[in-house]
Amino acid sequence: MKPKILVTRETFDDVLDYLTGHFEVSSNQSDTPMDSHILVKNLADKSGVMTTMMDRVDAALLSNCPALKAVCNIAVGFNNIDIEACSRAGVMATNTPGVLDDSTADFTWALILATARRVVESDSHLRSGQWKGWYLKQFLGIDVHHATLGILGFGRIGSKVARRALGFDMTVLYHNTRQADPDLERACNATFVSKEELLERSDILTLHLPYSPSTHHIIGSSELAGMKTGSILINAARGGVVDDTALVEALTSGRLAGAGLDVFENEPALNPALISMKNVVLTPHIASSSAATRHAMAMLAARNLVAALTTGKPPNLINKAEGGRRKAEGKDQGRDQRCN
């Protein structure tokens, strides 16, 4: 008899076909979000689950799902999963690192260019019939070429963003929990600086950090006050690493010229003041949303689940087996992490 698994949200047909070859699959192809009560009800007799960032897996859920052995997140980040609770319950937890790095770096540049050159604002102006012809000071933006790019978080995605800056002849600065390998610095033409210097010198500051208690509001009122006047902030990492209320204040005061945001505190809710701001580009957490990348993420999660329930050794295990239980491994969550 095949193990039973749940796929919590709509996925690709070939991913389901692959899973069906190994499991009895229940899939939410209607893509109806499940609250905690419904999720527990659907998981009660399942050995494994493929989750998304919208699915909270915590101690309360695990206590009501005794058959559960593996939680496989379709995401790099895993702050929707209580890893310690999974470890205590003997449940393997996995993520999908690597496959979304380039797409997320590409999208970071989409936000940089759209924000600096006021693309969304001018598009709206034209579509609404307000454009009356060319004039000299029309939608003056910020040059990206030869500007100083600051990168907070220099892991897989942050370093790929830096590589893409080479074509713009930018000065690239970065700050990370530890300095990168000299070969990587040379390849990216990037210089390690303190966080304070990064804020002071960056014309464009882009964030590539996971969300955790240690990174909560890592960009808050004091950091925004320390940023270069007229600079722009880009966040395609995680909501919560920026204090959105403080960001609104910095944008309103003119301290910052603009912001490009793909993630928000308490998403899908967001600070309503952001919606009316013409100098802010807003996108709905889609940095990894290319067809190829989202498919690769789903398939990697599926392969993690098959390996977890057949061999007990999934390739992207976040916590490891120890004495029949699973103890948090303490992987470096300071690396770039997205669950787009």
In a domain, 86, yes or no: yes
Please state, in angstroms and rounded to a whole number, the distance separating the CA atoms of residues 54 and 313.
25
The string of pLDDT tens digits covering residues 172-204 is: 999 999 999 999 999 999 999 999 999 999 999
Q: In terms of domains, do 136 and 217 share one?
A: yes
The one catalytic residue in 238, 294, 303, 326 is 238
Q: In terms of domains, do 19 and 82 share one?
A: yes
Q: In terms of domains, do 113 and 49 share one?
A: no
| 145 CB-near residues (< 8 Å, 6+ apart) | 168, 169, 170
Q: Is the pLDDT of residue 165 over 90?
A: yes
In a domain, 315, yes or no: yes
Q: In terms of domains, do 276 and 302 share one?
A: no
| Range with the poorest average pLDDT among 38-42, 311-315, 324-328, 334-338 | 324-328
Q: In terms of domains, do 87 and 128 share one?
A: no
The one catalytic residue in 10, 197, 200, 267 is 267
Q: Is the pLDDT of residue 58 over 60?
A: yes
267 is catalytic: yes
Q: In terms of domains, do 157 and 253 share one?
A: yes
In a domain, 337, yes or no: no
Q: In terms of domains, do 77 and 110 share one?
A: no
Please state, in angstroms and rounded to a whole number, the distance separating the CA atoms of residues 73 and 17.
18
Quote the pLDDT of residue 281: 98
Beta bridge partners of residue 261, listed in sequence order: 235, 282
Q: Are 203 and 229 in contact (CB under 8 A)?
A: no
Helices (H) and strands (E) in the chain, counts: 13, 14
Q: In terms of domains, do 272 and 147 share one?
A: yes
Please state, in angstroms and rounded to a whole number, the distance separating the CA atoms of residues 149 and 174.
8
pLDDT above 70: percentage of residues in the chain: 94
In a domain, 336, yes or no: no
pLDDT above 90: percentage of residues in the chain: 92
CATH number for the domain that contains residue 48: 3.40.50.720
238 is catalytic: yes
| 200 CB-near residues (< 8 Å, 6+ apart) | 226, 227, 228
Q: Are 140 and 119 in contact (CB under 8 A)?
A: no
User: Mean per-residue pLDDT for 266-275?
Assistant: 94
Quote the pLDDT of residue 320: 72
Q: Are 228 and 200 in contact (CB under 8 A)?
A: yes
The string of pLDDT tens digits covering residues 197-237 is: 999 999 999 999 999 899 999 999 999 999 999 999 999 99
Q: In terms of domains, do 204 and 77 share one?
A: no
Q: In terms of domains, do 177 and 160 share one?
A: yes
In a domain, 88, yes or no: yes
User: Mean per-residue pLDDT for 63-86?
Assistant: 95
Residue numbers of the domain that contains 205? 101-282
Confidence of residue 329 (pLDDT cuts 50, 70, 90): very low
Token pair, residue 51, equals 């989750």
| Range with the poorest average pLDDT among 208-222, 259-273, 307-321 | 307-321
Q: Is 135 helix (H, G, I), strand (E, B) or coil?
A: coil
In a domain, 229, yes or no: yes
User: Mean per-residue pLDDT for 300-324?
Assistant: 86
294 is catalytic: no
Q: In terms of domains, do 207 and 301 share one?
A: no
The one catalytic residue in 118, 164, 285, 303 is 285
Domain count, the chain: 2
Nearest to 235 by CA among 58, 111, 321: 111
Residues constituting the chain:
340
Q: What is the average pLDDT value for the chain, to the nearest integer?
A: 93
In a domain, 333, yes or no: no
Nearest to 112 by CA among 187, 46, 57, 164: 164
Q: Is the pLDDT of residue 340 over 70?
A: no
Query: What CA–CA distances, in Å, run from 31 to 12, 155, 239?
Result: 12, 32, 23
| Reported pTM | 0.91
In a domain, 335, yes or no: no
Q: What is the DSSP string of 242-261?
A: B-HHHHHHHHHHTSEEEEEE
Confidence of residue 150 (pLDDT cuts 50, 70, 90): very high
Q: In terms of domains, do 159 and 253 share one?
A: yes
Quote the pLDDT of residue 322: 41
Q: What is the DSSP string of 167-235?
A: GGT-EEEEE-SSPPPHHHHHHHTEEE--HHHHHHH-SEEEE----STTTTTSB-HHHHHTSPTTEEEEE
Confidence of residue 116 (pLDDT cuts 50, 70, 90): very high
